[in-house]
Chain A
Amino acid sequence: MQKLERKELVDLLRQMLLMRRFEEKCAEMYAMGKIGGFLHLYIGQEAVAAGAISVLRPDDYVIASYREHGHALARGCDPRKIMAELFGRADGLCKGKGGSMHLFDKTHNFLGGHAIVAGQIPIGTGAAFASQYEGKDQVTLCFFGDAAVNQGVFHEALNLAALWHLPIVYICENNRYGMGTAVERATPVRELYRRAEAYGMPGETVDGMDVLAVRECVGSAVERARRERIPSLIEAKTYRFRGHSMADPGTYRTKEEIEREKQRDPLVLFRDYLTAEAMIKESDWKVLEKEIRVTVEEAVRYADASAEPPVEWLCTDVYVSER
């Protein structure tokens, strides 16, 4: 991978900071009752989406699970429209019909958030199939959690992708838990990337708390997919600092463990790295913080100002022919 210029490095930092502050605001809005349903925050995992998606072209595809606010932001989706969606408003990305777990944005080739664990894996594989079929050199990034690898469709999809040489990179965000179930309580082979061996595709693991490492690793995999049509499985080792969703009893891990993991906060690590490399100064960070605060406040204002979707929309978008 090419070495990044200062501007690009700062962009990555900005993106991670946006994800962090956006999610913190979401938690606040949820507590106020403005966001309903299930809300899964991305706090702690920012380096994965930011680093991985940063290597894509606009015409590439991204697909993710229900924990997808960060991926949508990294893809460049409008934070205002995301927040409006979370509020269930007409100006939301999906007109208020999708909510937190189902953000889709066609203008950014963002193929959605999917809430059936692993449900998106074959779908992303289908997007890569289409690129292949049409002779395009697009690549699909398909994100899912550590628990998704135990679904049957994970196996079926990776087998097909390898068999058909599809341009896709599977990114398993191993945050060590699927809800309250630790990886070692769900599968005897804890190095999840090794599953790639079964399909004869490259499998790699990367420090998911290090945005540049993620970028490097995913960057090579994307190039492999684009130029040689070799799919890959990447396991990004990360951790979620918050509960699984807003309703999480927290009985399955210790406070000490969480505190220990927070020592490797990806946002802090990257900020400190850029500071040490003399890429940013304390004052730059302050400016960034302020800028992001404005963006997030603006998103909330936009969402608040947006109307509820009209009831006439209830049965629209069910069939194309009846639109």
Chain B
Amino acid sequence: MAIITYREALNQALREEMRRDPRVFLMGEEVGLYQGAYKVSQGLLEEFGPKRVIDTPISEAGFTGVGIGAAMVGLRPIVEMMTFNFALVAIDQIVNQAAKILYMSGGQYNVPMVIRGPGGPAHQLAAQHSQSMESYFYHVPGLKIVRPGTPKDAKGLLKSAIRDDDPVIFIESELLYGTKGEVPDGDYTIPLGVGDIKREGRDVTIVAYSTMLLLALQAAEELEKEGISVEVVDPRTLRPLDTELILESVKKTNRAVVMESGAGFGGIGTVIGEIISEQAFDYLDAPVERVTGANAPTPYAKNLERAKIPSKERLIAAVKKVLAV
């Protein structure tokens, strides 16, 4: 076990997979010479050269399409979005082509490609640079959505995503790149669609991922001191979603709070809340609570941004609400 950053973990996954399989290549804006806008691809150009670490012009729709075509005929592209907000420029390619080609071709052509980069709010980046983009994609059949919250998960899941035969949307976070954690030595993978209990508890289940996972773990720690035992479930991938793990936890604790950084309307909390009420209704001692971002674009002003993004305090209040304390 080594302690490394989330950024280094991703870098290792890229490096190891590129060493393992010559069909894997990385393409995107500033991934090479600049060493990555967020330094995730640091050193890869030096090791693999410009044939496999490809700097592109700012043409998200164009190079995403290039990735799709290359994947259809046998390569395994990793396309970096400098931030996921820019994937909207390529959303036609992702939703109308990548997600549907396998289906439309009657199973003849698959698209083994990873589209990755940071998403979600960071520090005062304002409306066009702070979106939690997963909700744009988990609605689409044909796409897989990964949202890792720790270095270990980031590395293991990215390796699985690269080896996966479907298009995978892999959303990292600017705020997590510098965070550290233990990562197993050697080659390991974490399967897509398998969640993880990040902390065991008895009284209430919090479902949270990515940056919100860190807040959930802090909240759990604080609540522990007040005698409240919190179980934190990290789904890690939103599609496929490990509903079994979530349901199991809720059946044990009988209470659930779902947290996400994006706007609440149509958020993942509605989906998880619905799954719980459909399949574990009789186990619930309180309605499922949701802690979400406000239904507004992300404002620039510091104080408004703070109000927009869910906080630990709001999470603690929600936990107390379902416990009626």
> With an 8 A cutoff between CB atoms, is A71 at the interface?
no
Chain B window 30-62, contacts with chain A (Cβ cutoff 8 Å), 1 for yes, 0 for no: 100111010000000000000000010111111
Complexed CA–CA distance, A40 and B115 (Å) = 27
| Chain A residue at smallest Cβ distance from B65 | A152
Task: Indicate if B86 sits at the interface (CB-CB under 8 A).
Answer: yes
Q: What is the minimal beta-carbon distance from A107 to any residue of chain B, in angstroms?
A: 20
| 10 new A-B contacts at CB < 8 Å, known A98-B126, A314-B307 | A37-B300, A99-B300, A116-B88, A119-B89, A148-B58, A181-B33, A251-B35, A252-B33, A308-B302, A309-B299
B275 CB-CB contact with A under 8 Å: no
Which listed segment binds A: B13-21, B134-142, B162-170, B290-298? B290-298
The reply to whether B294 and A315 form a contact with Cβ atoms under 8 Å apart is yes
Chain B residues, Cβ within 8 Å of A164: none
In the bound complex, residues from chain A placing their C-beta under 8 Å from that of B123 are: 36-37
A186 to B301, CA, bound (A): 35
The interface of chain A, by Cβ under 8 A from chain B, is 36-38, 85, 88-89, 92, 94-102, 114-119, 147-148, 150-153, 178-181, 185-187, 249, 251-252, 308-309, 311, 313-315, 317-318
CA gap between A153 and B153 in the complex, in Å: 37
- Do A311 and B61 have beta carbons less than 8 Å apart? no
Chain A's closest residue to B126 (CB) is A99
B253 interface hit (Cβ, 8 Å):
no
State the CA gap A200–B255 with chains docked (Å). 65
Interface string of B44-85 (1 = CB under 8 A from A): 000000000001011111100000000000000000000001
- B213-263 residues at the A interface, CB under 8 angstroms: none
B29 on the interface (CB 8 Å rule)?
yes
Interface string of B285-325 (1 = CB under 8 A from A): 00000000011110111111001100000000000000000
Query: B80: shortest Cβ distance to chain A, in Å?
Result: 13
Closest Cβ–Cβ distance, residue A246 to chain B (whole Å): 12
Nearest CB in chain B: distance from A157 CB, A: 14
Query: Taking beta carbons and an 8 Å cutoff, which residues of B are in contact with A?
Result: 29-30, 33-35, 37, 55, 57-62, 85-86, 88-89, 123-129, 294-297, 299-304, 307-308
Given contacts A251-B33, A314-B296, A315-B295, contact A150 B301 (CB under 8 A): no
- List chain A residues, Cβ under 8 A from B30: 179-181
| Residues in B whose Cβ lies below 8 Å from that of A185 | 33, 55
Chain B residues with Cβ below 8 Å from A178 are 57-58
Whether A118 and B126, one on each chain, are in contact in the complex, defined by CB atoms closer than 8 angstroms, is no
Tell me which residues across on chain A come within 8 A of B85, comparing CB atoms: 116
Cβ–Cβ contact A96 & B300, under 8 A: yes
- Assess whether A88 is in contact with B295, with CB atoms less than 8 Å apart: no
Binding site secondary structure of chain B: loop
Minimum Cβ distance to chain B for residue A138 (Å): 26
- CA of A36 to CA of B126 in the docked complex: distance in angstroms? 10
Chain B residue nearest in CB terms to A179: B30
Q: Which residue of B lies closest to A186 (CB)?
A: B57
Between-chain CB contacts (< 8 Å), 22 pairs:
A37-B126, A37-B129, A97-B301, A98-B127, A99-B301, A100-B300, A101-B126, A102-B127, A102-B300, A115-B126, A115-B128, A116-B86, A118-B58, A147-B58, A151-B60, A152-B61, A251-B33, A251-B34, A309-B301, A313-B304, A314-B294, A318-B296
A102 close to B128 (CB less than 8 A):
yes
Asked if A181 meets B55 with Cβ closer than 8 Å, knowing A102-B127, A249-B34, A308-B301, the reply is: yes
Contact yes or no, B302 A36, CB < 8 A: yes
CB of A151 within 8 A of CB of B59, answer: yes
State in angstroms the CA–CA spacing of A95 and B296 once bound together: 14
Contacts of B58 in A (CB 8 A): 117-118, 147-148, 150-151, 178, 186
User: When chains A and B are docked, how far (Å) is the Cα of A251 from the Cα of B297?
Assistant: 34
> Which chain B residue shows the least CB distance to A182?
B33
Bound: A317/B296 CA distance, A: 8
A residues within 8 A CB of B62?
Answer: 150, 152
Give Cα A118–Cα B89 distance, bound, in whole angstroms: 10
Report the minimum CB–CB distance from A94 to chain B (whole Å).
8
Residues of A within 8 A of B308 (CB): 314
Distance (whole angstroms) from the CB of A84 to the closest CB of chain B: 10
Most buried by A among B29, B33, B299: B299
CB distance from B254 to the nearest CB of A (A): 32
Q: How far is the CA of A252 from the CA of B86 in the complex (A)?
A: 23
Assess whether B300 is in contact with A88, with CB atoms less than 8 Å apart.
yes
Contact (Cβ within 8 A) B57 A97: no
Option from B33, B55, B128, B301 in Cβ contact (under 8 Å) with A88: B301
Q: Evaluate contact between B307 and A249: CB separation under 8 angstroms.
A: no
A102 → chain B, closest Cβ, in Å?
A: 6
What residues on B are CB-neighbors of A36 within 8 Å? 123-124, 300, 302
Q: Which 8 pairs show the lowest CB-CB distances between chains A and B?
A: A99-B300, A88-B301, A96-B301, A36-B124, A150-B57, A37-B124, A180-B34, A186-B57
Q: Which residues of B sit under 8 angstroms from A114, Cβ to Cβ?
A: 128
A85-B124 Cα distance, complex, nearest whole Å: 12
Assembly CA distance A67 to B58 (angstroms): 16
Scoring B29, B61, B123 by chain A CB atoms within 10 A of each residue's CB, the highest score goes to B29
A320 to B151, CA, bound (A): 43
B51 to chain A, nearest CB (A): 15
Q: Given A36-B123, A115-B126, A185-B55, A315–B301 Cβ distance below 8 Å?
A: no
A140 to B216, CA, bound (A): 49
Q: Give the docked Cα–Cα distance between A92 and B124 (Å).
A: 15
Given A102-B300, A150-B57, A116 and B89 touching (CB < 8 A)? yes
Per the bound structure, the CA–CA distance linking A115 and B82 in Å amounts to 13
Q: Is the CB of A96 within 8 A of B304?
A: yes
Contacts A88-B301, A116-B88, A313-B304: A179 and B34 contacting too (C-beta < 8 A)? yes
Do residues A181 and B59 form an inter-chain contact, with CB atoms below 8 A? no
CB-CB under 8 A from B86, the residues of chain A are 116-117
Interface centre among A37, A38, A95, A308 (most CB of B within 10 A): A37
